[in-house]
Chain A
Amino acid sequence: MKLSGDLIEVSVIGGYLGAGKTTLVNHILREASERVAVMVNDFGEINIDESLIDSSDENTISLTNGCICCSLVDGFATALESVVSFRPRPTRLVIEASGVADPGTIAAHGHGPGFALDAVIVVADAVRLIEQIADPLVGQTVAGQIRAADVIVLNKIDLCDTLTSVNAELSELNPKALLIYTSEAKADLDLLFGREILRTVSSAGHVGTFESRTHESTQPILRENLEALIKNLPSDIQRVKGIIRLAEAPRIPMVFQLVGRSWDLRALADREKSPEGNRLVVIGPKGSIPIAWDNFLR
């Protein structure tokens, strides 16, 4: 789903060294059906798949599918400005954080004018995670990244024979995040980005198949109705997102995000460019999305 015509959705990808962040970025670039801009903290680390590269200059790499990579060498403000000015304009910005960065701090930049933060995605190395968290030098860093995640991509599950203890560790650190299992970071992009699912997909290692349902209405929503809806949501629905208007402040477009077990409602920085009315996409395992959904929002 696109939030609206001109807004750029921001996905922050964090995770410690070697977890597969770059692999995930390359996977996104390869599979992207939208125009993506990637911002990287360090060209030495990014290693964009050569087959994707069209041309490159000092701080920018252009890709054959129309995507763009730019460097953070001059800081966030400069990099964000250049993303907004790319033509044609990207619809999504993927920020690859450094291996020691707190992705939550980076996500704070995703609310600026022209942007809407989608989710913080943290890639974890299923094979090394437990060892990393116990490490006296980097344990706190790795645990902090996991805690900051809306979506955890648990990667390399094909190489991991201690998945039970890894799961236990993850649910202790962050019981609310949406957990996606992958090998070679091949996460389903619709699930990752909370897009409308037009075909039925299944994510590697994840139970069942997913579907989506879109709610559209024009009247502002009562906050208590929204809260009741969230409370009554079946527990296997892990992604809801969209832009709504609340009855208490109908002129302010609000971004609603539910990922895993946590949700967030924030005003959109860009008031002018956002659409009127309400539009919400619910994603869940096939058959789990309540038909009565729309009634909650009347």
Chain B
Amino acid sequence: MSDAKVTIFTGKKIITMNPAVPVAQAIAVQGDRILGVGTVGDLAQWGDYELDEQFKDHILMPGFVEAHSHVMAGAVWEFPYVGFYDRPDPLGHTWLGCQTIAAVVDRLAECERELKDPDQTLVAWGLDPIFLEGERLVAKHLDQISVTRPIFVFHASGHLATVNSAMMRRSGIDRYTPTPGVAKDFDGEPNGELQEPAAMSLAQDGFSAIGVAMMSSNAKWNYAREARNCGVTTIADLGTTRLTMEGQLEAWREATDDANYPARVVVAVGHFDSNSIVSLAVRLRDEEETPKLRFGIVKLVLDGSIQGFTARISWPHYVNPPPGHPGNGLWLIPPEQLADIVSGYHEAGLTVHCHCNGDEATQVFIDAVELALQRHPRWDHRHTVQHSQMTTAAQYKKMAALGINANIFSNHIFHWGDQHAAVTIGEERAARMDACATAEREGVVFSVHSDAPITPMSQLHTAWSAVNRLTASGRVLGPEERISVAKALEACTLGAAHQLKLDHDIGSLEAGKLADFAVLEEDPFEVSPAELKNIAVWGTVVGGTPHVASSK
């Protein structure tokens, strides 16, 4: 061994997730790696050490791995939150939910007073009108805040925005505006609601604000702070086309090279045009990786969302779609082209993570991977079905045979489970959606994820959702698909590390791996499973460096 300094951390209990040595009392760290786990006595065999007892009353676990989230989770906090549920921000402040229109207006009025430049657009996010009783929030409500400053409020769905009269004036939106999606009241005047991107983009400086913020250094820092606050040490920004933009790779490097940056980041390249993306992704993987910045994954998006009725679902499709719905969802890639696209990345040695919410999409992806494997046999590719919300038992069996992983959107059970049972796919299929137990039974390596900012980042919450399957209304949706706490924690650590091809480095605490820990106030194996999501997080250790959560 080298003679660099050795630190031994002690903990109340160290859960290693290594089945060979599942529990330990101490963990020795040299540089950014684990020298060994065991007792202080065991570890003394490595020579001189410094004892660090700051975690002696805490539970240490492998740092959680969030294999599907977005840097947007950091960018949204450049703007005030006006959603229905309470939500903590990366700096530790909890924004209380706005549960009435008046609360939304009050929140925005407060933020408006803080803006100095009178021309600056006030942008906010997270509005969810279905939860707000009474009339719908429109321009006239926002006009109470300001009639001169443009105001632009994104809805939680991302498909709609509500703006005030000043924003409409600046954007030239009036009763004659021809763009579809500019909502108008009964006498033809626009009411401030802009539906879908073509209409939203008329209010350009509001609509582009979050995208612009995503490029900033602050968004990258807040993304990692959000991770740190919930015990996550590795985050995957799953799918961006922005790496080709000038300065973006450098911006990621600058942030992650900083010793204080509290996370490792895997940036997946979004599929756009196969040829140039293959060479970009290969170059990033081969030439640009650093200890805290990793590449090698290409993200494809095959279908839409279940709650938006745009996921591709096999017969009998949707149970109660809105009037005028064509019956099934949308393809974002032509299904017959998928095999060629996957083959291109597959042959280049890249790992393909494919967004498939509906089971028909999952099937098209499985078939594409099978064809790619016939053309170009390759072991241990770890291509992954992302979201995997309706994947069936037969599909999981086939995925196991082909070596495909799954990343299951377990948080959907809590956030939209009631709607899925009642409106989208019906009781039976809702009971078997996000089927962690089936994936486990069929031998598929899987993880669970938040897709932050779609749902708040927290692997304790996604694990809780997979273990309890409680919906927002409090019912247990599909009890047979519940999994054990141990399996859920494995999914959030080794399972996620495996699909990122990082399980040689992270996901468990054992000699040789990176010293990445989640530092918890309580033992997830000791609290009742229903309390899993409420375990307080002290912070993390990344590469041997402690990072305290900002709420501390």
Contacts and interface: CB of A to CB of B under 8 A. Distances in A.
> Mostly helix, strand, loop or mixed at chain B's interface?
loop
B176 interface: yes
Contacts of A51: none
A138 B244 contact: no
Contacts of A109: 197-198, 201
Contacts of B207: 77
A17 interface: yes
A88 to B, nearest CB: 24
A100 B177 contact: no
Contacts of B204: 77
Given A43-B273, A43-B276, A73-B244, A269 B326 contact: no
B39 interface: no
A260 B355 CA distance: 39
A144 B326 contact: yes
Contact of B334 (A73, A100, A108, A140): A100
Give the contact-size bracket for chain A.
Answer: 35 or more
Interface in A121-153: 137-138, 140-141, 144
Q: Which of B179, B241, B275 has the most CB of A within 10 A?
A: B179
Contacts of A71: 273
Interface string B472-509: 00000000000000000000000000000000000000
Contacts of A111: 177-180, 198
Most B C-beta atoms less than 10 A away, residue of A44, A76, A255? A44
Interface in B268-282: 272-276
Contacts of A74: 241, 245
A286 interface: no
A58 interface: yes
A111 B177 CA distance: 8
A285 to B, nearest CB: 30
A75 B207 CA distance: 12
B181 interface: yes
A246 to B, nearest CB: 11
Contacts of B332: 100
A297 interface: no
Contacts of B272: 42, 73
B275 A141 contact: no
A108 B179 contact: yes
Contacts of A44: 273-276
A220 to B, nearest CB: 14
Nearest to B276: A43
Contacts of B335: 137-138
A194 interface: no
B202 A112 contact: yes
A71 B275 CA distance: 14
- Among B180, B244, B275, max chain A CB count under 10 A is at B180
Nearest to B198: A108
B364 A137 contact: yes
Contacts of B328: 140
A252 interface: yes
B92 to A, nearest CB: 33
A184 B227 CA distance: 55
Contacts of A76: 197-198, 201
B303 to A, nearest CB: 10
Contact of B177 (A99, A137, A269): A269
Interface in A45-72: 45, 58, 71
Contact of A17 (B211, B273, B337): B337
A146 B538 CA distance: 57
Contacts of A281: none
B258 interface: no
Contacts of B197: 76, 109
A258 interface: no
Given A44-B275, A267-B178, A105 B201 contact: no
Interface string B240-283: 01001100000000000000000000000000111110000000
A113 B179 CA distance: 10
B401 interface: no
Contacts of B327: 140
A141 B181 CA distance: 21
Nearest to B317: A140
A268 interface: yes
A108 B196 contact: yes
A141 B196 CA distance: 19
Interface in B188-221: 196-199, 201-202, 204, 207-208, 211
A76 B181 CA distance: 16
Nearest to B270: A73
Interface in B156-183: 172, 176-181
B242 to A, nearest CB: 8
Nearest to A136: B315
B177 A267 contact: yes
A266 interface: yes
B163 to A, nearest CB: 16
B532 to A, nearest CB: 39
B333 A100 contact: yes
A17 B176 contact: no
Contacts of A267: 176-178
Give the most central of A58, A75, A77: most B CB within 10 Å: A77
Contacts of A42: 272-273
A43 B176 CA distance: 36
Interface in A231-274: 249, 252, 255, 266-269
B173 to A, nearest CB: 9
Contacts of B337: 17, 99
Interface in A85-106: 98-100, 102, 105
B334 A266 contact: no
B331 interface: yes
Contacts of B180: 108, 111
Contacts of B179: 108, 111-112, 269
A230 to B, nearest CB: 19
A17 B327 CA distance: 21
Interface in B298-341: 326-328, 330-337
A73 B245 CA distance: 10
B226 interface: no
B360 interface: yes
B331 A138 contact: yes
Nearest to A59: B244
Contacts of B176: 249, 252, 267
B208 A269 contact: no
Contacts of A58: 244
Given A16-B334, A100-B333, A141-B330, 7 more contacts: A17-B336, A100-B332, A111-B179, A111-B198, A112-B179, A113-B172, A138-B334
Interface of A: 16-17, 42-45, 58, 71, 73-77, 98-100, 102, 105, 108-109, 111-113, 117, 137-138, 140-141, 144, 249, 252, 255, 266-269
20 contacts: A17-B336, A44-B276, A73-B244, A77-B208, A102-B330, A108-B181, A109-B201, A111-B178, A111-B179, A112-B179, A112-B198, A112-B202, A137-B335, A137-B360, A138-B334, A138-B335, A255-B178, A267-B176, A269-B172, A269-B178
The 7 closest A-B pairs by CB, nearest first: A267-B176, A108-B198, A266-B178, A44-B273, A100-B331, A111-B179, A111-B178
Interface of B: 172, 176-181, 196-199, 201-202, 204, 207-208, 211, 241, 244-245, 272-276, 326-328, 330-337, 360, 364
